[in-house]
Amino acid sequence: MTDIDVRLREDVHLLGELLGETIRQQHGEAFVQKIEAIRHSAKADRSGAGEQLSSTLDSLADDELLPVARAFNQFLNLANIAEQYQLIHRRSDDQPLPFEARVLPELLARLKQAGHDERGLAEQLAQLQIELVLTAHPTEVARRTLIQKYDAIAAQLAAQDHRDLTEAERQQVRERLQRLIAEAWHTEEIRRTRPTPVDEAKWGFAVIEHSLWQAIPNHLRKVDAALHAATGQRLPLQAAPIRFASWMGGDRDGNPNVTASVTREVLLLARWMAADLFLRDVDALAAELSMQQASAALREQVGDSREPYRAVLKQLRERLRATRAWAHASLEVTQPAGPEVLVDNQQLIAPLQLCHASLHACGMGVIADGPLLDCLRRAVTFGLFLVRLDVRQDAGRHRDALSEITAYLGLGHYAQWSEVQRMDFLQAELNNPRPLLPAHFQAEDDTAEVLATCREVASAPAASLGSYVISMAGAASDVLAVQLLLKEAGLTRPMRVVPLFETLADLDNAGPVIEQLLQLQGYRASLQGPQEVMIGYSDSAKDAGTTAAAWAQYRAQESLVNICRAHDVELLLFHGRGGTVGRGGGPAHAAILSQPPGSVAGRFRTTEQGEMIRFKFGLPGIAEQNLNLYLAAVLEATLLPPPLPQPAWRQVMDQLASDGVAAYRQVVRENSDFVEYFRQSTPEQELGRLPLGSRPAKRRAGGIESLRAIPWIFGWTQTRLMLPAWLGWETALDNALARGEGDLLGQMREQWPFFRTRIDMLEMVLAKADAQIAEAYDQRLVQPHLLGLGSHLRDLLSQSCELVLGLTGQSVLLAHSPDTLEFIRLRNTYLDPLHRLQAELLARTRGREAALDSPLEQALLVTVAGIAAGLRNTG
């Protein structure tokens, strides 16, 4: 067992002990012993503990259900903290650096060995454009107040990691941990009300304030050091290889709570927050930079000031104060920005650069490259607008708006026109200098909201906005429709209008749609920069299963790369990946390296979803590691792209996808009992009551097709069947083996990063799946006539596991990663009681109305949160 394992177990044991003491103080020793009995019955022998565990849980009184659920939920959250801290804990000199810290220096060495010259390497790294787009859904299961306490607990684990602490200091750390754990225990886990879109945006800003604000300059310092060591070159001051965007407050697809006024408010809050954060930096710099010697350029700006740097920074400080005050006032009443308000990022960057250059010119580089450089790096990365806000809306809303407009103008109904008619109309109107609508046009509410959003886009500074994303796009007219609506709203500058191809059919049609657009002279003229296209992972997987969806995504990217290359247009692919494997999630580094060659050409854009934001970016040290992985993967995929798949591999993958989608849809769409089974066997209905995010769980009334991808995945995750992530693979792989393609599958896994990554992610999700737990839900919740379907699905799960084991040559899933396997086992000790308790609570609460604040309902929602924390997955 490694030192990391020992320390992790020590931390988990300490946190568990302190939690037990907290519970003992409130509920007494007898109750703590009950929890221990439940834990031991789950731990003793998982294969035979089910009946014993169920019996122990059944003996609980109603008033004990909630505190028992809370105890296991809290422990799993504390285990997460300990595990996260292990990734960044202080290491002694004789311990190897983690992969995340080594990945860039080792990559630069490999690139040099591959023949890349030093100057070219430095230029390519400096020019990288990686944008991580923070999204709210499914947002955090845990409340923000608890997240802050968890972060404080992690800080105390770091504090106790110093070997030279005195016994008194060590006791102080333990007392602080005890207090923080008690605070968390006595804080409600579950929100009573759903967060608003503005709440979600504030949560995103808090991640920047408490983590990324520190992580970005630290990360760039290490990038600069690695680059200098490898090439002798420095990272330019204007380089920002990784930037951030957001959907929080801009994503109105199926969310009526995101309105034009919400988008306006979030844009202003971002400007207020940026000004406030930079004010703190500039205040500190003004206190530190008391030097007198300055360059002629700086003297020219401030005259004969005795403290020239402070003079420059005080001018900037006053403008930041004016900017913050204006943004705050504008939240109440729209008002023009006065001359002191900062409106362009260069107005923020230039004074900082001037001070930095002057200090270097005067022999004070050691001072220049301290906190001033950190502030300058933040200014280049975040700017005055903090994050760029994307706007997203469903293509159907644009069609409906244009249909109302054309009907009003006496032209007929746009929605009923053919694609040719729509394209003719849109191109004519885009080229027409007159407005489309008279000033007195009074639209219906939905159309008025679409037009109001377009007006907000038109009036916002260009640097504050990212892309306008069209969900469920399927035709070239969907893109031109948005361009026309934005033109009508008064937008005169270029803006990226981005089709999002989501279903299997739309992914197959992505190339032809972009081909059609790029053949239009007017459209080509409107492109300023790359052609951006978004690839949807969540809905394509829900539509066709992950086997067919993954291959469709790959082929769509290949097609787009070839089409844009033929038209001499740069391509930017935007990956709409979820947090889970069933929604296209998984380790980002491997996923990027498995993309088609040419699809990552120095540019990469991807969503970071909900709870994964905290796991990947919630602590500065963890954030740095993930930023390193993104940077290295995009650089490697750009300069050392993977090989083209061999024709034989393509044929195998075509057949795997065909078999996979048929098997998936046979269960999900063609089995008349499936929807009823899903609703009975999972907490899908109850998830609609969980105040997870601002967006409704359904797009519209209906069956599986109406569900958003998140509750679809979330429901199966809670019961550990994990069905969306693997269903279809068992048939596809079994058929391939029956055709004698086993050796070819092994070759594909060995030599083709795309296929290897898919199998690795499949293995990970199968290791988290648990047929015994899923069966326990069925036995408690499912009507007798549906039990056979559940048994069949568990047989398919078992078949998937056997096939993956055969393909990887292992006797146990994840045998190659014993640390991960051990931690899954450790979590199961605390997850098993929550699963069985949840099944019991579902049975007790179904069929009767229960208030959200009733003990049973609260206990149920706590089990949902606890299982999500234990598996580190919601949707």
Q: What phi, psi does 516 have (nearest 5°)?
A: -60, -40
Query: What residue type is 197 in one-letter code?
Result: P
Alpha-carbon gap, residue 819 to 4, rounded angstroms = 9
228 has catalytic annotation: no
50 SS3 class: helix
Residue matched to tokens 């690139």: 111
Alpha-carbon gap, residue 420 to 424, rounded angstroms = 6
Q: What phi, psi does 499 have (nearest 5°)?
A: -75, 135
Contact 501/472 with Cβ under 8 angstroms?
no
Contact 545/709 with Cβ under 8 angstroms?
no
Contact 613/746 with Cβ under 8 angstroms?
no
Q: Which of 149, 542, 589, 835 is the catalytic position?
A: 542
Contact 246/389 with Cβ under 8 angstroms?
yes
Residues forming a β-bridge with 211: none
Residue matched to tokens 């609460």: 845
User: Radius of gyration (Cα) for the chain, nearest Å?
Assistant: 28
Alpha-carbon gap, residue 613 to 611, rounded angstroms = 5
137 has catalytic annotation: yes
Judging by beta carbons within 10 Å of its beta carbon (0-12, 13-18, 19+), is residue 119 exposed, middle or buried?
Answer: exposed
C-alpha distances (whole Å) from 554 to each of 247, 344, 709 are 25, 39, 20
CB atoms within 10 A of CB 279: 16
- In 3D space, the residue among 508, 514, 504, 585 whose CA is nearest the CA of residue 548 turns out to be 504
Q: Which residues contact 751 (CB under 8 A, 6 or more apart)?
A: 643
- In 3D space, the residue among 56, 145, 58, 70 whose CA is nearest the CA of residue 863 turns out to be 70
The three-state (H, E, C) secondary structure of 157-217, written as one string: HHHCCCCCCCHHHHHHHHHHHHHHHHHHHCCCCCCCCCCCHHHHHHHHHHHHHHHHHHHHH
Token pair belonging to 718: 């809670």
Alpha-carbon gap, residue 666 to 135, rounded angstroms = 32
Alpha-carbon gap, residue 112 to 119, rounded angstroms = 11
Q: What is the DSSP string of 553-607?
A: HHHHHHHHHHHHHHTT--EEEEEE--SSGGGT-S-HHHHHHTSPTTS-SSEEEEE
469 SS3 class: strand
C-alpha distances (whole Å) from 167 to each of 11, 171, 181, 200 are 17, 6, 21, 42
Alpha-carbon gap, residue 52 to 311, rounded angstroms = 73
Taking the alpha carbons at both ends of the chain, their separation in whole angstroms is 33
The bridge status of strand 129-135 relative to strand 603-609 is: parallel
Q: What is the enclosing helix (H) or strand (E) of 269?
A: helix 260-288
Alpha-carbon gap, residue 553 to 535, rounded angstroms = 7
Q: Which of 34, 89, 137, 575 is the catalytic position?
A: 137
Token pair belonging to 513: 């749609």
Query: Count of alpha carbons within 13 Å of 52, Cβ hemisphere only?
Result: 13
CA angle in degrees (0–180, nearest 5) for 116-121-127: 140
Supply the residues annotated as catalytic.
137, 542
